[in-house]
Structure 1
């Protein structure tokens, strides 16, 4: 199992942020999500440094859908990050956490009227407008509230990155954005002549997620910069901002070969400057929206092992006290993870087992055919790189309460989200 961030082994036990995993499991019970706060901070600072946030005025917007309790909003504010939200709930969390609304980008392919009204009332910095329905509604609400709202148009640039089918978003067949090839983007530009309460200042695209190859991002840069030039020449609209979305891939298993944050950022900046020089336009302010690559490797999940079932000549099922309710990605995407027993880190890993969840679903399998040390019921197992889309996609299927979340740093544990109780599960029921 690969160690990330502040992980270290002391006397055969895994420590994160200077805290022993067995201590965390004992104090907060299992399952429990554990976040390495220093690694999150380091990732944010790398992005801001290499994307030239201070030097060029570019912005790094954390994609909140990956993991967004109030704790993350406060941490992103401290690290001078912007924030990408995609729902009223994420927007409300940011607002209540004291995150500066002018640094919020409000995404979503079907924002409700209530959500648009919230965004306008809270003073969201940029609406990333996805469709004509939203454009009409935003103009109407801004006129009623006597406000002018800065917007980006989300476009589908026709770029297919090599990633999972469900997380491709840049190709023409997508529910997101105004397509270029069918003329929707240009029709939207024309429609702006009818409005005086929305101001187009930028364009946005997101080509997919868990992308390891830099080339699709460079292709995206070329498409976007040429679109900036075309929009000014044909329509007299100067786009000052270009948002390139996120999607940078991270390590989950040894099959993944991610590049460094530095490599992606420097390549994007270099290509932008080169392309703008070649086509004769000023370099716009750039935005990038990392989510997974900020928090995935910083998060882990601790479980307690329960039943161990050996089916002779078939496999050994090792069941834990969580599963698809706290990590749905293996069931959705067949996503791979690594694991270990936290107090047997230096032991031989000769045993091949399948880690199963406790849900009443045959597909509730976290990791198949993984090599681990000798396992006993009661051991504490860790799965790494669960920081993105673990807690945020968790559910109460089978009436299972959601786990607690803690952050660790410098030998201290900070509670982030308390564990749900059975009473919490019943709270909304009449």
Structure 2
């Protein structure tokens, strides 16, 4: 074995820096012990990621620079205290980069108004392309992309198209009176959206389009039912093949 460093993962959607300071102290302390006991040389210290992003107005993430500076300072101070050389410092900012970069677009379909309870608005997607709200109650916000500047608002709840009562994308969001055909843009869905998508209820996964400075690129085309059928074995073909083998 040729171990070059240590890696940690303390969670995700983290808005404070204290957790990183605590894990850095713990890892460096163990590293010093392993150096004395086994001759282990710490060349890389990977403190992971998990930096929080803004999904809703309640989220207040810190600038990446603040996370980075806090991590660097903690490593420098702790290695100096322990008399250790400064290792390479790695981080994994993944979600904090790709999360805000992604937006999911849905077409509004039908609505269901329950007086004195809530108004449901259905869209042409849901838990198949974004499992997070159903799986662990992740929260998102969104806007009607075709009526962003509208001042009219009503509180609605956005339901997906799967046949599950838990297929709810957003609960109680103010939108400008959604109507059939409107485009709902769900924000900050660039992480853990498509990567966790499935064909639940035999639903095809959506396309992924990159856009920059007015130019678009189709990165992943939309799935079709023909794509599904490529994996299917026809019983007729199977029987014909079997008859051919029996004939021999």
TM over 0.5: yes
Hey, what does 1:290 align to over in structure 2? 93
Residue 367 of structure 1: which of 166, 170, 178 is its match? 170
Where do 1:122-137 residues align within 5 Å? none
**TM-score normalised to structure 1 length:** 0.53
Structure 1 residue 306 corresponds to structure 2 residue 109: yes
Q: What is residue 26 of structure 2 aligned with on the other side?
A: 223
Equivalent residue, structure 2, for 1:327? 130
Pairs within 5 Å for 1:4-403: 198-403=1-206
1:427 is matched with which residue?
A: 230
CA distance in 2, matches of 1:307, 1:209: 35
Distance 1:273 1:316 in 2: 54
Residue 429 of structure 1 deviates from its aligned partner by: 2.1
Consecutive unaligned residues of structure 2, counting only runs of 5 or more, are 234-248
Q: Structure 1: how far apart are the matches of 2:11 and 2:185?
A: 28
Taking the aligned partners of 1:417 and 1:301, their CA distance within structure 2 comes to: 14
Which residue number corresponds to residue 218 of structure 2? Answer: 415
Q: The residue matched to 1:389 in structure 2 has which SS?
A: coil
| C-alpha distance after superposition, 1:317-373 (max 9, x if no partner) | 100000001111100111111111112111125301010000000100000111111
SS of equivalent to 2:50: coil
DSSP 3-state at the match of 1:274: helix
Distance 1:405 1:269 in 2: 36
Q: Please, which runs of 5 or more residues in structure 1 have no aligned partner?
A: 1-197
Q: Please, what TM-score do these two structures have when normalized by structure 2?
A: 0.92
Aligned residues: 233
SS at match of 1:278: helix
Q: CA RMSD, aligned part only?
A: 1.0
Q: In the aligned structure 2, how far is the partner of 1:212 from the partner of 1:427?
A: 45
**Residue in 1 that maps onto 2:243:** none
Provide the secondary structure at the position in 2 that maps to 1:335: coil
**4+ runs of 1 displaced by more than 4 Å?**
none
Task: Provide the C-alpha distance between the structure 1 equivalents of 2:110 and 2:153, rounded to a whole number of angstroms.
Answer: 19
- The structure having more radius of gyration, on CA atoms, is 2
**1:225 to 1:393, Cα distance in 2 relative to 1, 3 A:** same
2: CA distance between counterparts of 1:346 and 1:237?
60
3-state SS of paired residue (1:297): helix
